Amino acid sequence: MEIEERIGKRVKDLRNKNGLTQEELAARTELTKGFISQLERGQTAPSVSTLQDIVECLGTNLSEFFSEEREPQIVYRKEDYFESEDKNGNVVNWLVASAQSRSIEPILLRLRPGTSTALDKPHDGEEFGYVLEGTVKLTCGDKTFTIRKGDSFIYPANEPHSISSACRRDALILWISTPPSF
């Protein structure tokens, strides 16, 4: 088996283990779904920096990626976080890079004033949040709740839901989903 095929197989195995689609991995790495597909089939070879980005999004590093023995990571440092910014300047930090292999997924969400998350479709599980800074509005189905700094929320994710900023400064929310869905 050639190196491109071995890398592709390993990426695909890790992606599946983490419960991600090719499209989700592509979004997290700012690559195209087509590139991820070609990579997994051994039809292209990524640059070292691109491979590093991919494996970090899959909860590992280059050393572990090429190693045969793997121990689960217990402590995650700030440099382990994966950060993504949407077109409105909202920032999501995945606090546990390999959360897809776990039963919960913690993120830190920074909402800019006047913005909101995309409407999340109903899915299995629950979501919990704690507002660290600012004020937000949580919409679950046809109900809307105002949540201030120091307040928390929890709800079954079986109805459409979203969260929006309700103040003139950034809002910061610790958000935990089970099972992982971000």
Pick the CATH number of 3-66 from 1.10.260.40, 3.90.550.10, 3.40.50.300, 1.10.10.10: 1.10.260.40
Q: What gap in Å lies between CA 106 and CA 177, rounded to an integer? A: 7
On the question of pLDDT at 41 being above 60, the answer is yes
Coil, strand or helix at 99 = helix
Sequence ranges of the domains in the chain: 3-66, 78-178
- Name the superfamily (CATH) of residues 78-178: Jelly Rolls (2.60.120.10)
Tell me the pLDDT tens digit for each residue of 54-105.
999 898 888 888 876 556 778 888 888 888 888 889 999 989 877 666 788 8
On the question of pLDDT at 164 being above 60, the answer is yes
**Nearest in space to 133 (alpha carbons), one of 118, 113, 116, 119:** 113
DSSP track, 22-88: HHHHHHHHT--HHHHHHHHTTS----HHHHHHHHHHTT--HHHHH-S--PPP----GGG-EEEE-TT
Q: What gap in Å lies between CA 129 and CA 107, rounded to an integer? A: 9
Mean pLDDT for all residues in the chain: 89
Poorest-pLDDT segment among 2-16, 98-112, 144-158, 160-174: 98-112
Contact partners, residue 179, CB within 8 Å, separation at least 6: 19, 103, 104, 105, 124, 125
